[in-house]
Structure 1
Amino acid sequence: MKETSHSLELSILELPAIVTHLFERAQRPLLPSAPGPLGLFVRYLRRKPGRGLAVIYSVGEPGTPVAVRKAQAGDPHRAVSLALDESALEGAHIRFTTAQAQQAPLAVQPTGVVQVETLGISVQAFPADNGLPALAASCNTAHNGPLFPALEAAAQAFLHDQEWRLVDARAEPVRYKPASRCVIRYHLTLEHATGGATTRRKLTLFGKVYAEPEQARAIQATMQRIYDEQSQLGMSTLPRPLGTVETLGLTINEAIQPADLEEGVETQAALRTGLRALQPRLVRGRGGEITGVITPAEELRLTAVALARLHTSAVRSEGAPRTGAK
């Protein structure tokens, strides 16, 4: 009895093994710092007609507690992406088999992306990203790279003093959407020579790298106009725009955070960022019993004020509005 095409069909559950095998064939590690065996855990999956299948995995160690795995899922360094072209799909079915994926010729692109062109497969591990070709360079804070002088200029603009010199910088990716954008926290160490004394200080800035350099330029220009408008009215709630590295499609902005963190002072309480800052916190007693709920009233109020000011601004963005298609 002949096997039907559906009996050989590859399922989504088998894709992690395909991804792992492709990385092994390309002699590229899934997670360079991991000493033992690794697994891939789905963080995001999207299937849109005409646009193929996209899956984002988080790399983790098998047997890791669920709570730890959830915490690791937000780490961009653990992000591995799989993209299947529309040609690799037939409705909800994958056209190729496991054997074909294992035997088809592959190529490693200059960006680090592994491609099996004949089957329409692309896999990549952070910071390799075909859709964000400047991502790796935006995380490279080497003194001889294009990012280092841009960070120094942004710090000088923030401090209103051209005499500050950048002596060290470290990039920390904090939010990442493959092929679209990545938010990076830059930890800077600066020095200022005055007379015979040298002053050293820490500074944190945020960068955001976009898929299209023109998009970065347009967004930063709009943010600058809104910031100027609000500053003139004495009610600025936006981080101050500090520059754009157009060759990288990277915007650099002021970091809004507690002063003690900016100065490098350790704090006891963990800083709650993003949507977590707007979520209620549960107070637990003995045995884990919930004894109270703390509503972040001030954070919600400030967010509401910022949104109201943004939507009543006279500034209009360049080009067509975002549709969320990416």
Structure 2
Amino acid sequence: NIGGDLWNIRPLLERIGYRILSTYTGDASIHDIAKAPRAKLNVLMCHRSINYATQMFWEKYALPWLKVNYIGVAETARSLREMAEFFDDQTLTENTEKVIAAEMERITPALERYQERLDGKRIMLFVGGSRSHHFQHLSEELGMNVVMAGYEFAHRDDYEGRQVLADMKETAISRVVPDLHYERESGCEPPADLEQKKDELGGHLLDYEGMIAHMKKGALIVDDLNHFETEAIIRELQPDVFCSGIKDKYVVEKMGVPSRQLHSYDYSGPYTGFDGALIFAKDIDMAVSTPTIKYMKPPWRKKESGSDA
């Protein structure tokens, strides 16, 4: 629940009619977590941080998981629709469409204004978890050009999708962090129509396609950048905004490039759901539009000009 992400999503789910039994967030309680095996569907937002738990629930309790993305207008709508499709419930389906229509009517005028202002801006994304993938959707919805994306602590399946897991070889780290598997609990059976649902849900049920599948031709894919590499890439790609975390923020801003945090949201956010898309658009617009950052002189320019100012 980074920066209150769930707080934007919970009201949407409750308006549709879902009963949320348990959440694996920073503000969850042990009592909530204990109720998790009773759920009918496990929704997975961050593939890197919590996919081990969802896989455990699947192996032990036959609890299916659905890869969702609540960052971006279209992706939020897609995730809500696929949840309703999983349950194949007419009321949930109708309520989902009503909620999406109401939210779109409410946010579209403001969103279009930001799209006009941000169209063509160059954005770089270097975040953990699945966020560099998630935020590509929202950035592109706003008309921005994602020129670089990557992760600090991702695994191959975060980039290439879960289909690579079967071919990955064990390494020395496997002795320290073993690949755990679990026995199926007695009486726990998956839905009878699971295979049909997997075909219907666009490859998001018990699967994840990875970030590379979404990357545009010519965009740069990176992994675990250090600050030297970050500076070199910024000089080469000349982005309008760099989105990362606190370790990179001030290094980047000293280069005269605005930076927004996608972990703590710089005391703004959250960026999830329909409201979150507007907050993100407003924050990025402020970042790229303010002239303040242009007055920052990086150390090498001070040396070139012979000025200490």
TM-score (structure 2 length as normaliser): 0.23
* Structure with the larger RCO, 1 or 2 (CA within 8 Å, 6+ apart): 2
Higher helix share goes to which structure? 2
